[in-house]
Structure formats: structure tokens, C-alpha cells
Chain A
Amino acid sequence: ETGVTQTPRHLVMGMTNKKSLKCEQHLGHNAMYWYKQSAKKPLELMFVYSLEERVENNSVPSRFSPECPNSSHLFLHLHTLQPEDSALYLCASSQDLKGGSQYFGPGTRLLVL
């Protein structure tokens, strides 16, 4: 298992629900990321945080709201999602933003009904 954990591992929600995904990294990294992984598509970068500040938001709909209270924790708050938002949501961390490798959590499998 990697040093990045995510909860919950599976989530089913209706379009009117509000839920949050949680990510925690135990690697002492300074950067954290949210990705969306859909079938037959490359990983889609959603948000990037470096030292708790958001540095990138790739035109993600406002129904997804990230929060990074400290360098070890990252949340993704979900509200009024659409069925097409069903996907695997992956959290990752890296030492910093200057190239290099990222370490992923196991992901949260989200189904929106």
C-alpha cells in the first residue's frame, strides 16, 4: 500500500446529495492533487495544491469544491452532481511541483444516480 489513503473507497449518491471525499498523505510531501479517471480516457487533473494553496484548477465545474486544510490532508466536496460525474476519483501527492513523480491513493469509486 502507498502512503496515500483515501476514504471512502466506494460512494453512491443521488444528484441532490452532498458528500465529501477525503485524502491523507503520510509521505511528507508538499503538493497534492485530485484526478478524475473515467473509462477509456486519460487521467484528468482537477485540482493542484502546493503548500496548502491552490495553484491550478482545470476548469472544473463548481459542483466540485476542493479544500486543503494542511499539507497532509485534501478534501473534495461534492454537491448536486450529475450521472456523468461517476468515475474513479484519485488523490495523489508529490514532493513538490517541479516535475517528478506522484504517488497515488487507491481512489474513491463514485456512482451518481
Chain B
Amino acid sequence: QKEVEQDPGPLSVPEGAIVSLNCTYSNSAFQYFMWYRQYSRKGPELLMYTYSSGNKEDGRFTAQVDKSSKYISLFIRDSQPSDSATYLCAMSDRDDKIIFGKGTRLHILP
């Protein structure tokens, strides 16, 4: 089993819809959970950073971590065409390197 599983998509949703992006993982030692957004021909940009379980909200973005299910989510409300990008989940434990998912390509249709 891969350490981090992420559906590559592409995921296409109409403008204004709520987007749900997800990753599952196998290593129960992971404590730090991140979401990165990567536009075409650019490097990944840190979007959300959470520690341990719970929710974190930042504007239209909400990150959720469920450590009991080893499942993390990123929700995007009122999605915009400018949200079209690849979203990568990433996670690490205290002392180890970050493990990235493959990324989900998201298209917001005007």
C-alpha cells in the first residue's frame, strides 16, 4: 500500500460549486498535514497547513483531518475558474521527510 493515496482526476465542477479533494494515508505517525496548489508551469504553493486532527478554515478553503480514519480533505467553497490547478496533499511526522500525493487536477468550468 502506498503511503499517500490521492485520486489524480481530472475533476471538473461548475463555477460556484463546492469542491471536495481528498487523500488517504497509511502511516499513523503523520502529524503535519498540508495542501499545496500548483498552477501550470509553476512550483507548488502552500495553501493550508494543519497539525493533528480537526478543521482549519481560511477564506473559501477548509482543511479537515481525521486521524482515526487516516483521511484528509480540502473543501473549496464558491469555486472560481482561478481555482483551476493541481492540488497536492502532503504529510509528515515530526522527524521525517514530507510525503506527497500525486496531486488532483481540478477544472472549474465557467
Contacts and interface: CB of A to CB of B under 8 A. Distances in A.
Contact of A40 (B4, B96, B102): B102
Main secondary structure of the interface of A (DSSP, over half): loop
Given A40-B102, A43-B88, A100-B92, A48 B43 contact: no
B57 interface: no
Interface in A49-101: 56, 90, 92, 97-101
A104 B44 contact: yes
A56 B34 CA distance: 22
Contacts of B92: 99-100
B45 A101 contact: no
A102 B43 contact: no
B102 A106 contact: no
A107 B93 CA distance: 26
Contact of B94 (A42, A56, A98, A101): A98
Interface string B9-47: 000000000000000000000011010100001111110
B95 A90 contact: no
Give the size range of B's interface with the partner.
20 to 34
B54 interface: no
A101 B41 contact: no
Contacts of B32: 99-101
A7 to B, nearest CB: 13
Given A43-B88, A98-B94, A103 B100 contact: no
B97 interface: yes
Given A40-B102, A97-B95, A103 B46 contact: yes
A48 B41 CA distance: 23
A111 interface: no
Given A42-B4, A45-B97, A48-B97, A101 B46 contact: yes
Given A43-B88, A99-B94, A2 B4 contact: no
A100 B99 CA distance: 11
Interface of B: 4, 8, 31-32, 34, 36, 41-46, 49, 88, 92-103
Interface of A: 2, 4, 6, 40-43, 45, 48, 56, 90, 92, 97-107, 109
